[in-house]
Amino acid sequence: MTATRPRPVVDATIEASRGPGWRTMPAEAVGVDVDRLLTVRSTEDVADRRRRLIDHLWKGAGLPSATPSINSGVTIADLDPLDHGGVDRATSSMSHGLASTSYLVHPRRPEPGRLGFFLAGHGNAGKPVYHRPRLAAMQTLLDRGYRVAAVDMPLQGWNAPVMDLPTSDAPPPADPASHERFGAYERPDFCTATFFLEPVLALLNHVARAAPLTDVVTFGFSGGAWTTVLHAAIDPRVTLSIQVAGTWPFYLRPHPAEHPNFGDWEQRRESLPGLYDIAGYLDLYLLGAAGAGRRQLQILNRFDPSCFPGVGHRSYAQPVRDRAGALGGDWEVIDDPTHGEHKVSDYAVAMLAHELDRRS
């Protein structure tokens, strides 16, 4: 077990190869009134925003209570390296003919009430650079008695890139696995963000029906970190959420200037204006952390060549943590300067282990 908090060591070679925009605060972030941008200010605000988000996502139908179809005792080569006590396949059907295939991995020595998730990013399931960290994070949870659900993003990984066309005369999409195609399905009576959330909720509902849950941990990478943030915001059953290299407030997206990143389709304000009008990223962070016993970590790769590098997080880290504390929870940014890749690092996995052990 991890006794002391891991400390990152800056990779000096990578640091020396990067320009000043990766090491210094963007000028545009200096003086930003983050306290004004944090519009969730009270426990009443938390309840109201969460209700409004759920109403927007499911158009007044409430948080889904459905469970997936379960096929127990399956074998899947991707998960064979794990030391586990069995694997179940979970399948869910969603609107517009979209289907989800996920896996629930059982520990050899389960601890009652514990459930963990690894939420992968865009197309990450089959790439070794992403697959190995997923296994490391999942094993960290399994070793501590958590059942662990492995969930890919819609149309990605284990999920087939197949769904009904939005209209009978619509041409096939150029890239069937791209989330850009979801824009054609967004309607006043349907929100496509539910495609990302429903497989997670269904698995959580399935495990919760078997026995009460006391500790629900979500660990998401890249695009899966976005799902982690939104799920924790609407579902107070999540007690610890860790988002790795996956989100940033809108005002920081153009920075650093040599590597701006405005996010994938679901991350952009213009894609889901109704959702982000209710809660932008800073408020979503607060909703994911607010409440007794709840905590959210945002792990950002300082030298990430793909997503949200640099130190712009310093402009909001302390104000968000202060406000989350006032709302009864805890929120923290973890700066990871140990490497120069878009990945879950060994340090990030060590932080997961530390967080789990300090909760025991």
pLDDT digits over 298-344, tens only?
999 999 988 899 999 999 999 999 999 999 999 999 999 999 999 99
Question: Residue 22's pLDDT is what?
Answer: 82
In this structure, is residue 196 part of a structural domain?
A: yes
Contacts of 247 (CB under 8 A, 6+ apart): 225, 226, 229, 263, 267, 281, 284, 298, 308
Q: Measure CA of the first residue to CA of the last residue in the chain; give whole Å.
A: 10
In this structure, is residue 168 part of a structural domain?
A: no
Q: What is the DSSP letter of 187?
A: B
pLDDT digits over 216-242, tens only?
999 999 999 999 999 999 999 999 999
Q: What is the rounded CA–CA span in Å between residue 194 and residue 240?
A: 21
Question: Residue 37 to residues 161, 276, 279, 286, 315: CA-CA distances in angstroms?
Answer: 37, 13, 10, 12, 12
Question: Residue 30's pLDDT is what?
Answer: 86
In this structure, is residue 2 part of a structural domain?
A: no
pLDDT digits over 69-99, tens only?
999 999 999 999 999 999 999 999 999 999 9
Structure tokens at 204: 């959580």
pTM over 0.85, yes/no: yes
Q: What is the DSSP letter of 72?
A: -
The pLDDT mean for the chain works out to 93
Map residue 335 onto helix, strand or coil.
strand
In this structure, is residue 3 part of a structural domain?
A: no
In this structure, is residue 116 part of a structural domain?
A: yes
In this structure, is residue 120 part of a structural domain?
A: yes
The DSSP string of 306-327 is SSS-SSGGGGTHHHHHHHHHHT
Q: What is the rounded CA–CA span in Å between residue 236 and residue 117?
A: 15
CATH for 130: 3.40.50.1820
Instruction: Say if CB 57 and CB 275 are below 8 A apart.
Output: yes
Question: Residue 25's pLDDT is what?
Answer: 87
Q: What is the rounded CA–CA span in Å between residue 52 and residue 118?
A: 27
Question: Residue 258's pLDDT is what?
Answer: 67
Question: Residue 126's pLDDT is what?
Answer: 56
In total, how many domains does the chain have?
1
Instruction: Say if CB 64 and CB 58 are below 8 A apart.
Output: yes
pLDDT digits over 260-296, tens only?
777 889 999 999 999 999 999 999 999 999 999 999 9
In this structure, is residue 241 part of a structural domain?
A: yes
Of 230, 83, 76, the closest CA to residue 157 belongs to 76
In this structure, is residue 1 part of a structural domain?
A: no
The bridge status of strand 240-244 relative to strand 215-221 is parallel
Provide the domain limits for residue 296. Answer: 12-162+177-359
Question: Residue 128's pLDDT is what?
Answer: 53
Of 112, 89, 27, the closest CA to residue 315 belongs to 27
Contacts of 56 (CB under 8 A, 6+ apart): 191, 274, 275, 278
Q: What is the rounded CA–CA span in Å between residue 308 and residue 262?
A: 9
